[in-house]
Amino acid sequence: MVSLTSGVVTGVVVGAIAVVTGVPGASTPAQADPTTPTSGSSITVSANQQDKDLDNAPMPDLSVTVSQTKDLLAQGIKITWTGGLKSDIPTNATGGADFLQIAQCWGADDDDEPDRTKCQYGGFGTPGAYRYSTTTNPDDVAEQDEEFTAYSDSPFNPTFTGIPFQSATGDWVRSVEDGERIPDVDPAVNQFFTKFNTNEVAWAGSSTDGTGSATFEVQTATESPGLGCGTPVNQVTGGVKGSSCWLVIIPRGTNDVGQQFVVNSGLSWDAWKHRIAVKLEFQPIGVRCTIGAAERQLAGSELVSDAVRSWQPELCGAEDGAAYSLIGQTESDALLAANGTTAAPMALTTRALKAPDIVDRLSYAPVALTGLAISFAVDRQPSAAEGVPQEVTDAARLPFTELKLTPRLIAKLLTNSYVDSLPPGADRSGIGYVDQTSPGHNARNLTSDPEFLEINDPEWAYQAITAPSVADLLTPLGRLDGAWVLWNYVISDAEALAFLSGEADEWGMIVNPWSSTTPSEGNGGIAASYPLDQFPRADPIEQPAVEGPDGAAAVNLVTWRPYTNNLDQSANLTLRGDGLILGGWDITATPPKYGKAARQVPGQQSVLGLTDTSAAAKYQVYTAALLNPAGEYVAPDSGSLLAAASAMVADPAQPQVVGYDPTSTEAAEAPGAYPLAMPVYAAVNPQMKDANDGLADDRGAGELRGDYASFIAFAVSSGQVPGTGTGQLPDGYAPLPQAWRDQAVAAAETIAAGPVATPAPTTTPRSTTTTTPPRTTGALPPAVVAPAAAAPQNPAATGQAAGSLVGAATPVDANISAVSGAVPIALLAGLLAALAAAVLPRVRRRL
């Protein structure tokens, strides 16, 4: 699991900046203790504190810790507990025994305790997790359930208790009214939640020592209008808050009243009375900006989207602040647009401009240190074969928390080389599979691959995990810098490169020929070339259509294993256990079509996804440890990202931009470095002209560049303070090294100064390399190149953050000549104060 956390930050906010420049609360933060959680809102509650019938409680010693309870948004939170009992897994007829159920309920602002009619629960419609209960003995109905019960004395028509759902919108879903059952109402299927979108946890088990953990998906009104959590509410004391909700944990025992097993609803009173509840406080949904704030566009990297979301309220809420909207766009396209001189969105990118025969005129300011991550949600599913140790069987349905991957294993996942990543009714002989009696040497999925089993915990070898969602990765559609970084990591490894060329691994597994770098009959003579900036589904394989009235359409590779919309969705789907598995053919649909399989319930999840470190932290999903060039398996956290930053090397064609090169000496000498670490730069051409340049309006010329400079100034100052509050750096990012912040300040100064006379640049011919995208070299305009003192520093790569990267006091930046010509003398004193703190303020010319 990603854990990018920091402690209390002692940096002092320079108050004069907001007054003089409109940049809200900019400061240079001190580096914080990476072992302390940023939220500071973890809460522990117990049955002893809340259970009103503790003597009859199924788990009287239960104590539950919730990782975050404030500043919540659509995210994941970690729930851990002690004092439970060893759990029994569910069956088709029972809900299991001695387990927990978890649900989200609205109404925390109005109710002193949770109201079960306001809980999103029952969507799965499985034993022990219904929204209703039945009994043949009416005397078993608790007094508190009578108003929701339709009584019957007939054994053929049992007494029915259905707990209604009242939504935050004011609507009700009832299955019983005035003592009568309403026919044809299924409480598990309604307009507010179903098995496809509910966030409830129907079964969360404890290990033999009574401890356990679960990651819970917190939903806002955007994901669940029926809950309405985070809806903006005006406070009496002023300001806006998000409406609060409840997190409810329901312990279940070995049987329900009048039943031999756990089969009734957790909302029935006899179960509900033992619930433990925690209040959840949300950030208000939506952006509240000053009326009339300028709207500025950012374009490019998704990797910084969570940080921008956090920074936005502070940036646009200040006097003369601007509202920044991030447009999802291919980084290379965003760079090309920003490289011109006409007004364009500020580009956000990891790599420098790679456009043949075009001079790179951009000034690059590092604003974030993040990276890609491979998320996983894989629950234990022990084999029923003889010889499985009892401790392995006892751990059934509990999640794996550690997973190691090599570049070659990632290559197998990305190239659809595992058997189950291809449609089952198609001809899969290209990878050696004929049928079950002649399966070839390629493993069904990652968890049965001998290479994977060799490097991971021996417990994996006793599992019987079969799902197409662990035979490949959830990957986003489109072009992105992250794809290039991942492929570059893969091909930097000799074994992975040999595998891609068609060479079998030690166990005989071969690459899908359509992704091979060697032309052959199997790929039509078309060889693949890496690295790529996308994840192609290269194999044209197809499961044939079935003719006739009950037939089904053909299934190709994209139908079988669809793309995600973005990296964030990959993490969310991992949390939900949704591998985007194809459902059955629905002949009742108009027109008939394939459906989508419901997400896998907790305890039965098997999903792998490609995401980024901030999304992984937000949704609290586990992430794989990757083999780095120094021979160590390293997972992403703030320390490993900073270690990678210390090992990054400059782009030969653009020295303002650095990156982690797996083939470099620096990488080989950095054992603590995470190999998919990625910087994000804000890039602007200082020669860019505002749309209103030369016009005498109330905002003045240079406004666009000034706003871009202000964004950079905030991002590298107050925006680097770790925390969950608005304006802070969310988990999943590492605070920028000091040298990077210095470079950003210098770049922002250059951007704000605006167009200056520059010598004519020169270019070099188009690159002819086949493994790396073409690069352009040549002299950069002086206005583009940051001062030498501000260039990224790369101390000896020891695998630990070097001294210059861990946040020494920011030196005074005395170079203000470019800025002084762009601001009136009346503001110069304030600007000097801001620059003394190494923070570039908003610069605007007032005419």
pLDDT tens across 103-140, in order? 999 999 999 999 999 999 999 989 999 999 999 999 99
Is 80 exceeded by the pLDDT of residue 311? yes
**H helices present in 731-774, as ranges:** 738-753
- Residues near 39 by Cβ (< 8 Å), separated by ≥ 6? 67, 68, 70, 71, 723, 724
Q: Give pLDDT tens digits for 352-395.
A: 999 999 999 999 999 999 999 999 999 999 999 999 999 999 99
Q: Give pLDDT tens digits for 555-575.
A: 999 999 999 999 999 999 999
The number of beta carbons lying within 10 Å of the beta carbon of residue 780 is 20
Is 80 exceeded by the pLDDT of residue 423? yes
Under the banding of pLDDT at 50, 70 and 90, the label for residue 713 is: very high
Is 70 exceeded by the pLDDT of residue 14? no
pLDDT of residue 154: 82
- The CA distance from 627 to 407, in Å, is 7
Is 80 exceeded by the pLDDT of residue 772? no
Under the banding of pLDDT at 50, 70 and 90, the label for residue 286 is: confident
pLDDT of residue 236: 74
- The CA distance from 221 to 127, in Å, is 28
Please give the backbone phi and psi of residue 617, each rounded to the nearest 5 degrees, phi first: -70, -40
Domain boundaries, the chain: 15-36+287-373+627-836, 43-70+72-282, 380-604
Q: Which helix (H) or strand (E) holds 43?
A: strand 43-46
Q: Output the average pLDDT for the chain.
A: 85
Q: Give pLDDT tens digits for 614-662.
A: 999 999 999 999 999 999 999 999 999 999 999 999 999 999 999 999 9
**Which tokens belong to 151?**
């009584």
- Residues near 378 by Cβ (< 8 Å), separated by ≥ 6? 399, 400, 403, 447, 465, 470, 605, 606, 607, 608
Under the banding of pLDDT at 50, 70 and 90, the label for residue 702 is: low
Under the banding of pLDDT at 50, 70 and 90, the label for residue 691 is: low
Q: Give pLDDT tens digits for 426-441.
A: 999 999 999 999 999 9
Strands 593-596 and 582-586: antiparallel
Q: Give pLDDT tens digits for 715-767.
A: 999 999 999 988 999 999 999 999 999 999 999 999 999 876 554 444 434 43
Count of positions (residues) in the chain: 847
**H helices present in 223-354, as ranges:** 269-272, 305-317, 331-338
Mean pLDDT to the nearest integer, 296-313: 95
DSSP strands (E only) in 390-468: 404-405
Q: Give pLDDT tens digits for 327-358.
A: 889 999 999 999 999 999 999 999 999 999 99
Q: Which of 235-239, 498-502, 788-792 has the lowest mean pLDDT?
A: 788-792
Mean pLDDT to the nearest integer, 465-473: 97
**H helices present in 261-330, as ranges:** 269-272, 305-317
Q: Contacts from 219-224 at CB under 8 Å and sequence distance 24+? A: 219/74, 219/104, 219/120, 220/72, 220/73, 220/74, 220/282, 220/285, 221/168, 221/285, 222/74, 222/285, 223/74, 223/197, 223/199, 224/104, 224/120, 224/192, 224/193, 224/197, 224/199
Please give the backbone phi and psi of residue 215, each rounded to the nearest 5 degrees, phi first: -100, 125
SS3 breakdown of the chain: % helix, strand, coil, rounded to 5? Answer: 25, 20, 55
- Of all residues in the chain, what percent carry a pLDDT higher than 70? 83
Tell which wins on pLDDT, 476 or 831. Answer: 476
CB 636 within 8 A of CB 616: yes
Mean pLDDT to the nearest integer, 208-217: 95
- The CA distance from 838 to 833, in Å, is 9
Q: Give pLDDT tens digits for 667-676.
A: 999 999 999 9
Please give the backbone phi and psi of residue 380, each rounded to the nearest 5 degrees, phi first: -70, 130
- The CA distance from 794 to 801, in Å, is 10
Identify which of 368, 338, 331, 733 has the alpha carbon closest to the alpha carbon of residue 534: 331
- The CA distance from 114 to 122, in Å, is 16
Is 90 exceeded by the pLDDT of residue 292? no
Is 60 exceeded by the pLDDT of residue 532? yes
Tell which wins on pLDDT, 845 or 230. Answer: 230
Under the banding of pLDDT at 50, 70 and 90, the label for residue 692 is: low
Q: Give pLDDT tens digits for 828-847.
A: 233 333 433 333 333 332 22
C-alpha pair distances (Å), 527 with each of 131, 501, 538, 770? 55, 9, 11, 12
Q: Give pLDDT tens digits for 795-820.
A: 333 333 333 333 333 333 333 233 32
pLDDT of residue 213: 94
Is 50 exceeded by the pLDDT of residue 295? yes
